[in-house]
Structure 1
Amino acid sequence: MTSLAVVLVSPKNPGNVGSAARAMLNMGASDMRLVAPRCDHLDPEARRLSVHAVTVLEGARVYATLAEALADRDVALATTARERKNLPLPRLPSELRPLLQSADRPALVFGPEESGLTSEDIALCQGSVRVPTGEYASLNLAQAVLLLCYEFLQAREAPPVEHKAAPREQMEGMYAHLLAFMHRIGYTDDVRAPQTMRHWRTLLDRARPSAREVQFLRGLWQQGIWAANRADERAAPPANPEDTDA
């Protein structure tokens, strides 16, 4: 799974970033992505603790948001040890291996050292994974990267899968279109929309539509918006001649 991307969200300690780079290289992964880092990933401490993985640090890409970092990925798994309201329960790596096996461009997402990922971050991913630990579940960032890269790189042994899911950038565009469609036809409102969208995200992320299938869905929604607009035009009362300049 050389295409595996490791995404670190807002890392604070350059030593942790360097150690994470070393852990990645140990497991054969080299695509490091940093989202709004609070440290310099090329700091001397990061370089020192990366040992022979300086090339991973130097090749790391920096993004302003997690959505941008995941735009070209087809499957992303968030790491968390906590259950979150209205989000799927975190699962063990062994349960999620089939999902990673079917991915062409997978990603593992790790949160800030002191707080972990937010619920909004996790909602952008197609599942969440927890490391099976004892009662004390706090792991160093580099330890978590090493353990999960090891767990999921075992998916190398799986046979290739023909289906190619749409990248996240396309999926996020589809979700924005779906929300506009639902608002336009009165299916939801501003209060209910967040929970409604969580349900639709769960359903459609599980289906993993291809880029072509995403186009089909968006065509349907665009036609629905057009039809709703046409219905409004037909229902509008005729203009009063006295209101015109004629």
Structure 2
Amino acid sequence: MNDALKIVLVGTRHPGNIGSAARAMKTMGLSRLALVAPECFPDPHAYALAAGANDVLDVAEVHATLEDALAECRFVIGTTARRRTVTMPELPPRDAARQLVDAQARGGVALVFGRERTGLENHELQLCHASVCIPANPDYSSLNIAAAVQVLCYEIRMATLSTNANADMDAATIAASIDPDDLPATQAEMEAFFQHFSALLDDIDFHKGRPPDMISQRLRRLFQRAQPDPRELRILRGIFSDTQRLLKKS
């Protein structure tokens, strides 16, 4: 079982979909399931449709927010069924699976699925480094959430099986042997950085009354592409703090 990669379901309405997703995961060797604000869980319908994947449900994480669910992750891909206004790399399923599998050597990774009817909201996609879309029939693209989980978990399975057979250590062992300061910053560290950066921009009146959304999105994309490590974030935040201190003295 591959427990280095986390499957995250956001705002799932029907508990049966949670059980079916757990079944899809287990058939492809995945065991880490995280639920963000599910409408009904735990629930007998989830266990009924898990069909033997009860162990996945038994240890499923439940979080109030997506930020909490992704806090320790260093690389995140969000699923989407349509083109969004959020600018980010858009990957086909096979490429997304390969990037997720490769990124496991640097720490926690996650694949995020949105609500049954509306998917992920734009602000949730902004927490991701890239997006993935299953190229379904454009005349009938309605794909059940558990079916989408199955398709992408299959691609992850194939990417995992094709990984270099000479690698003797699993991703978790490799990550544990690396100095955390040499790894990309976690999602929690990045969010703290973005909040600090936003506060500094407000302190210097950078936006000058204009809506900050577009600038904030572009800056977020810039730093997520760069994938800074914790040392680099500490340097930048040190600059921010010194600037704010000087502003208070002036």
* TM-score bracket relative to the smaller structure: 0.7 to 0.9
Cα offset for 1:55? 0.7
Cα offset for 1:197? 1.1
Cα offset for 1:73? 0.8
**Aligned counterpart, 1:172:** 191
Q: Does 1:76 align with 2:80?
A: no
Query: What amino acid is the match of 2:13?
Result: K
- Give the structure-1-normalised TM-score: 0.86
Counterparts of 1:89 and 1:134 in 2: how far apart (Å)?
22
Instruction: Please list the CA deviations of residues 28-67 of structure 1 after superposition, one character each: whole Å capped at 9, or x if unmatched.
Output: 1111111111112x32221111111101111111111111
Counterparts of 1:188 and 1:98 in 2: how far apart (Å)?
39
**Aligned counterpart, 1:130:** 133
**Aligned counterpart, 2:224:** 205
RMSD: 1.9
Query: What amino acid is the match of 1:132?
Result: P
Cα offset for 1:212? 1.6
Counterparts of 2:248 and 2:156 in 1: how far apart (Å)?
48
**Aligned counterpart, 1:27:** 28
Cα offset for 1:9? 0.6
Cα offset for 1:102? 2.5
Q: Does 1:39 align with 2:58?
A: no
**Aligned counterpart, 1:239:** none
Structure showing greater radius of gyration is: 1
Pick closer, same or farther for the CA change 1:68–1:31 going to 2, 3 Å.
same
- In percent, how many aligned pairs have the same letter? 37
Alpha carbons 2:196, 2:240 under 8 Å: kept: yes
Spell out the pairing of 1:1-246 with structure 2 (5 A cutoff).
2-40=3-41, 42-88=42-88, 90-97=90-97, 99-100=99-100, 101-103=102-104, 104-135=107-138, 136-156=140-160, 157=163, 164-189=183-208, 191-230=210-249, 232=250
Pick closer, same or farther for the CA change 1:52–1:192 going to 2, 3 Å.
same
Alpha carbons 1:86, 1:195 under 8 Å: kept: no
Q: Which ranges of structure 1 fall in alignment gaps of 5 or more residues?
A: 233-246
Q: How many residues align?
A: 230
Q: Which ranges of structure 2 fall in alignment gaps of 5 or more residues?
A: none
